[in-house]
Amino acid sequence: MHVSQAILSRRSHKLFRGTVVPDVDLKHLLELAIWAPNHKFTEPWRFTVLPKRSFDQLWLAVQDAADTDKARAKLMKLKEIIDGAGAAIAVRQVRSPDQPERDHEDYAACAIACQHIQLGAWERGWASFWTTSPGFVGGKLVDFWQTTPDERLVGVLFLGEAALDMPAVRRHCAESLATWL
């Protein structure tokens, strides 16, 4: 698959078929992630890999973290995602609070690492979605994903075999958003 094809055809998927994403694919995705551009080679990313066999731990943590009625009402939706997904990778950024410019650049670099994972997964036939939803990453779940006090959780990428085709939501025309000098 060419890069442009992967970019244009990748869509976010939240409903998966329960197929396990093998460790060999997860390792490949980490290899792609670390080749994201990063200013001054800070390599600010850290990863927490959750293979399917460890998903019970996630479900327990998600239930434990749902400490309001509103959060509990959403649990069955989260369970559907957990049951279907075949793996997850959390991307964490090492923060530099005393160097705001570096911190800003490092967040950008981690976001690119996330996209490398999504595109690499898609190339291997795995759909994905990136979540920052409180139900998956909020409150105590920051610890579940092994985020240390000097880090920020950039996102969790759920991966799996797509259950449905996902149509693209229309984008504004690129030309209308561009200023040419």
Ligand X SMILES: Cc1cc2nc3c(=O)[nH]c(=O)nc-3n(C[C@H](O)[C@H](O)[C@H](O)COP(=O)(O)O)c2cc1C
Closest separation between CB of residue 25 and ligand X, Å? 20
26 vs 156 by CB, closer to ligand X: 156
Q: Which H helix or E strand runs over 161?
A: none
H helix intervals, 10-157:
23-33, 55-65, 69-73, 75-84, 100-123, 134-137, 141-144
11 vs 102 by CB, closer to ligand X: 11
Name the site residues for ligand X (rule: CB under 6 A).
11-12, 14, 129-133, 155, 169
Q: Which H helix or E strand runs over 20?
A: none
Do 111 and 15 touch, CB atoms closer than 8 A? Answer: no
Report the alpha-carbon distance of residue 170 to residue 175 in Å, rounded.
Answer: 14
8 vs 60 by CB, closer to ligand X: 8
11 vs 28 by CB, closer to ligand X: 11
